[in-house]
Copies of this chain bind each other. A is one copy, B any other.
């Protein structure tokens, strides 16, 4: 129990900085004093019972604070957030302090039982759950109102006193991770478990999905190559390719659910109980009674929100969609102009010019997507959703609809209005390749270059020839606090989603799309890894059990692609030639095949279990055990009662 004493003290030697808090320059003394006192205060007094220390640099104190916690405090925190860890008997169980001895690798002096990412997640959770007691406002800032139960950190953030909270990198660990992840050229899987230990489950799951998706695309790519090499144009080969493609896309999405279950079971998040959702930081309203918690807190009328959604957001989205279609029509004018130019002066230059409109259009699409993304974020934030999940759903819906139309409208138009397969193939290839190049550039290389330049300048300013590893803690914090913030996996999934659209929607026209997707994803893994390790601040780990709404988005895309591919095959001249007498029969056959494929898809999705059998068994076992424990409790209580009655 000796170790446990550190729980109560703040001895310097035990202090391991985990999280950095940056307060605004010129924050009042009384505010800082009150805030640090609340963070250090005992749980019993409503504090967070964490350790906090100002960062002392050469320039003196800079309103930057380091937060840590004793080992015992972290273990108790792990129980509060409901972490699930592996037991000695290899089963996964919710961690409790009282049953700590039954967990694998647990020892009172083993400070690596919780990973650093888990410790940082616990500290973030504790900080966010530091709530106002009877304070009416933040001391020193009368305009920053508080009410009992309001999260102090969230109020500090919204009133600008708190600039940012971020977890520190572990340079030692990061170096190891970088090496095993992308440091050497090797063929093999990513070190997903290490990524999860360092960055948390959400990010590890994204890289898991990216890797899985790349592997899943390989069969398509392999089958697609001969179509290009031998210039196959036989309809039966196209039909076979498309059919394989459609069934394959269903299979891979179903199998992903199983792999995801395996991963998250191993990581413990599959079993983690959902935490009760607090209002998101940006939410505002007038004080009222929350009907769910019965507490006094800001409420915002649902009708007002509906009005904002239907009278402002919806028309705005429609306007954007219209604008996107308008730009598309300009693109077609440009395309026509390039064609005319090529016909007039036939030369190498003019045939290169044929590709220019597509490339310009691809760039414009990317730019529009990015501008729209900001607008959508602004609008969704203005809609004032109370919960982060509801905010995310509305944002994702807005962004997905626009991105889908923006990226694919021109292809649909070429395919089903112009019936120009040659242009479709060319346009698809240009859009896909241009957008991939732009994305790689904008997402990773550009920030990496900026970061590198900044680091160089920083080092020069610090007038030191030290290598990265020798940097003092103060230097490290100062460097990391200037790094960009990783905004979550949204953009990364969106990119994959659009790529999946390019590959599957018109797969029978351009089988080579899968090849480009595979090539892109291999570099994407490296550039995303670089981005995570080098460019951005370390993000807080976020436990998650699946890829959420993206599963649904990918499944919807694969349903749409059944329809488009069937129509494309039906339109091909080869299939056309098979029904020389009656176009009716052709259309009816295509419709029949389409319905059959859709039916097979749904049956397959229904038949393939979402979790592998052994995970199902393990979950059933846990459920059985908890029911048994409950029964034991009831029985023990009944026996007590019984005893009481007899000896009354």
Contacts and interface: CB of A to CB of B under 8 A. Distances in A.
Interface of A: 1, 4-5, 7-8, 42-44, 76, 79-80, 97-98, 275-276, 291-294, 563, 583-584, 587-588, 591, 595, 617, 620-621, 623-624, 627, 631, 634-635, 637-639, 641-642, 645-646, 648
A588 B416 CA distance: 12
Contacts of A1: 645, 648
A636 to B, nearest CB: 11
A645 B8 contact: yes
B292 A642 contact: no
A57 B635 CA distance: 38
Contacts of A623: 276
Nearest to A584: B583
A149 to B, nearest CB: 12
Contact of A624 (B76, B79, B292, B620): B292
Nearest to A8: B645
A98 B97 CA distance: 27
Across the A-B interface, the 4 shortest Cβ-Cβ residue pairs:
A587-B587, A292-B620, A276-B627, A292-B621
Contacts of A293: 621, 624
Given A584-B587, A621-B291, A624-B292, A4 B44 contact: no
A80 B631 contact: yes
B617 A291 contact: yes
A291 B619 CA distance: 11
A1 B5 CA distance: 48
Contacts of A591: 587, 591
Contacts of A291: 617, 621
14 contacts: A1-B645, A1-B648, A4-B645, A5-B645, A8-B645, A43-B635, A43-B638, A43-B642, A76-B638, A79-B634, A97-B638, A291-B621, A292-B621, A587-B588
A371 B146 CA distance: 72
A621 B292 CA distance: 4
Contacts of A631: 80
A638 B96 CA distance: 11
Contacts of A641: 76, 97
A373 to B, nearest CB: 24
Copies of this protein in the assembly total: 2
Nearest to A646: B8
B80 A634 contact: yes
Given A276-B623, A292-B620, A642 B584 contact: no
A642 B563 CA distance: 64
Interface of A is mostly: helix
Given A587-B588, A627-B276, A292 B617 contact: yes
A232 to B, nearest CB: 28
B587 A642 contact: no
Contacts of A44: 639, 642
Nearest to A559: B602
A389 to B, nearest CB: 12
A639 B646 CA distance: 35
Nearest to A598: B598
Contacts of A43: 635, 638-639, 642
A156 to B, nearest CB: 23
A283 to B, nearest CB: 16
Given A4-B645, A587-B587, 6 more contacts: A76-B638, A80-B634, A97-B641, A276-B623, A291-B621, A292-B617
Which of A5, A79, A634, A638 is the most central at the interface, judged by chain B CB atoms within 10 Å of its CB? A638
A42 to B, nearest CB: 7
Contacts of A275: 627
A483 to B, nearest CB: 35
A291 B614 CA distance: 10
A624 B276 contact: yes
Nearest to A79: B634
A490 B275 CA distance: 39
Contacts of A563: 595
A642 B617 CA distance: 39
A31 B645 CA distance: 31
A210 to B, nearest CB: 27
B638 A7 contact: no
A641 B49 CA distance: 14
Nearest to A302: B613
Contacts of A583: 583-584
A98 to B, nearest CB: 7
A44 B641 CA distance: 11
Contacts of A294: 621
Contacts of A634: 76, 79-80
Nearest to A82: B630
A8 B642 CA distance: 9
A567 to B, nearest CB: 9
A635 B587 CA distance: 68
Contacts of A620: 292
Contact of A645 (B7, B627, B645): B7
Which of A4, A7, A275, A292 is the most central at the interface, judged by chain B CB atoms within 10 Å of its CB? A292
A583 to B, nearest CB: 5
Contacts of A8: 645-646
Contacts of A42: 642
A642 B293 CA distance: 28
Which of A4, A8, A97, A587 is the most central at the interface, judged by chain B CB atoms within 10 Å of its CB? A587
A290 B647 CA distance: 40
A641 B627 CA distance: 27
A635 to B, nearest CB: 7
Which of A44, A80, A293, A642 is the most central at the interface, judged by chain B CB atoms within 10 Å of its CB? A642
Contacts of A617: 291-292
Contacts of A627: 275-276
A610 to B, nearest CB: 16
A285 to B, nearest CB: 17
A417 to B, nearest CB: 13
